[in-house]
Structure 1
């Protein structure tokens, strides 16, 4: 979305924390930045990280606080990972960075661009069912693991397996046949989507 210029965007993801982050940035950019900036300036220790991770997993009733913690955890966590266990607990360990970058300019840019966006938290099949002819669709699924030891697809509680890869290619193929322009960034399943 950020590198294109269309009149409108539909941005969807199955991760409710990510969609909440996007929505909060759009709805209250200043409040979000103030909350996130405070976290970045006061909690850059292992103890601070694990305390915020525990708070994030326990209570998400304050949407702005939750969104700010999600950004903090992603910037301070190991290798910038976003990972959950099967119970939906964010479980990335502390990354030990000396001064993680606070993306204030990027957040302002996103907030401005997102005025043309609708954000949905749903499965890709639901999203692709909304596609109209002449829409441009970009899908960025978790990469299919190259080996058993590189098997990480837990960006959400349910993961993303070979069957999900097949479902994505099938749904993307239908959208393409219905007149949309579809790009899938990576998939292991060979399938004619045209």
Structure 2
């Protein structure tokens, strides 16, 4: 899940656990890793206020243009990192903490074929991605890049005013035909709609 704890409250930075080796290492010196799974790069945040980010190139695999014009890349982590541009903000929808990356990233704990462990925090994180997709290179990624990623993209469509059923159809047409794989992922999209998150189609 995407947590809300703050790193460094006691003057310390928590270690980053790299999946698979059981070891802990200190986070990249450019930023800090929050205990909740947020990876924040404060130097990047400062630069963002003073520079214009080049958006995703047309034709970049996995990139969809939402009805508002925002560009978001969906990706399957098992397929590796594509050549070319990298994100300025990535959100990983996985059941384990992702490895540190050179770009800013957030983590939503989300098991395959299930719902986010904390739907409310997941919604807040997806709102952030949607907001920053207006002028940054943002991506959402899960293991295969289909179910959880498709659900996240459909949630952003709902944030732009679509009805849940319409959002699922739109993502299946413009991103992956099998996106949003199970009924409870549809339930999460309905929850986004019920939360009042819709209505921000205009940039």
TM over 0.5: no
TM-score bucket of the superposed structures, by smaller chain: under 0.3
Query: What TM-score do the two structures reach when normalised by structure 1?
Result: 0.26
Name the larger-Rg structure.
1
Give the number of the structure whose residues are more often strand, by fraction.
2
Query: What TM-score do the two structures reach when normalised by structure 2?
Result: 0.25
